[in-house]
Chains A and B, each alone.
Chain A
Amino acid sequence: EPEVTQTPSHQVTQMGQEVILRCVPISNHLYFYWYRQILGQKVEFLVSFYNNEISEKSEIFDDQFSVERPDGSNFTLKIRSTKLEDSAMYFCASTLTVNNYGYTFGSGTRLTVV
């Protein structure tokens, strides 16, 4: 069964450093998403991406965040200058069409900012 792959599974970074979280969505999917879950809290929407541009973003997704689909297969989330409160599980998801509501999620990257 096709999978959404995320790397690394765990990333530890120092506060103020830049991190890039990588995702390989399912190959024929067209819509891509990043969500995060701070430990013990709800899964929160960050951003959706379609046709090489952001289609929707939440208030969490400020200027420190950016997304890119650099080569047609990878979908990356960059945090420019990490803060302690960015520590969370980050989940990438993809879906084929807007009518396919069952997003496929990756296993997540645990980001720890120290």
Chain B
Amino acid sequence: DQQVKQNSPSLSVQEGRISILNCDYTNSMFDYFLWYKKYPAEGPTFLISISSIKDKNEDGRFTVFLNKSAKHLSLHIVPSQPGDSAVYFCAARGNNNDMRFGAGTRLTVKP
């Protein structure tokens, strides 16, 4: 099941700079997209989401952008902080109310 893809397994950025995490999807029936953050030994924690009728949603340091024509979304974190270091999962939901996750991107923010 490759409906949601995160092609970068890891990303390293300097504290204070912008982190950009990317996600692509193939199923045009997805109508809601989410980002989850996961620390080791914990379950995924919901971070931010966007409906397919929008192209941008912002929450503090986190902004999600959606490009429906390209079937692409991205999560921007600015400024990045060391505490942001975690695995970030992109997820997508269709009308059957179950989510499909990407493989995750491990973000490391260096002090």
Q: Are B104 and A107 in contact (CB under 8 A)?
A: no
User: Interface residues of B, CB < 8 Å — how many?
Assistant: 22
- A 75-87 binary contact with B (CB < 8 Å = 1; else 0): 0000000000000
Q: Are B45 and A105 in contact (CB under 8 A)?
A: yes
Q: Are B98 and A107 in contact (CB under 8 A)?
A: no
CA distance A79 to B15 in the complex (A): 44
Nearest chain A residue, comparing its CB with the CB of B43: A105
CA distance A48 to B95 in the complex (A): 13
Q: Are A43 and B93 in contact (CB under 8 A)?
A: no
Contacts of B101 in A (CB 8 A): 35, 42-45
Contacts of B102 in A (CB 8 A): 42
* CB-CB contacts below 8 Å: B26-59 with A: 32, 34, 36, 41-46, 49
CA distance A42 to B99 in the complex (A): 12
Q: Are A102 and B44 in contact (CB under 8 A)?
A: no
- B 74-99 binary contact with A (CB < 8 Å = 1; else 0): 00000000000000010001001111
Q: Does B13 make an interface contact (CB < 8 A)?
A: no
CA distance A102 to B47 in the complex (A): 8
Min CB gap B38→A, angstroms = 8
Q: A44-B1, A91-B44 are in contact. Are A102 and B100 (CB under 8 A)?
A: no
Q: Does B103 make an interface contact (CB < 8 A)?
A: yes
Min CB gap B87→A, angstroms = 10
Q: A43-B89, A44-B1, A101-B32 are in contact. Are A107 and B97 (CB under 8 A)?
A: no
Contact residue among A4, A101, A106 (Cβ-Cβ distance under 8 Å from B49): A101
Q: A48-B97, A56-B96 are in contact. Are A105 and B103 (CB under 8 A)?
A: no
- A 38-64 binary contact with B (CB < 8 Å = 1; else 0): 000111110010000001101000000
Contacts of B32 in A (CB 8 A): 101
Q: Are A98 and B97 in contact (CB under 8 A)?
A: yes
CA distance A105 to B45 in the complex (A): 7
Q: Are A56 and B44 in contact (CB under 8 A)?
A: no
Chain B interfacial positions (CB closer than 8 Å to A):
1, 32, 34, 36, 41-46, 49, 89, 93, 96-104
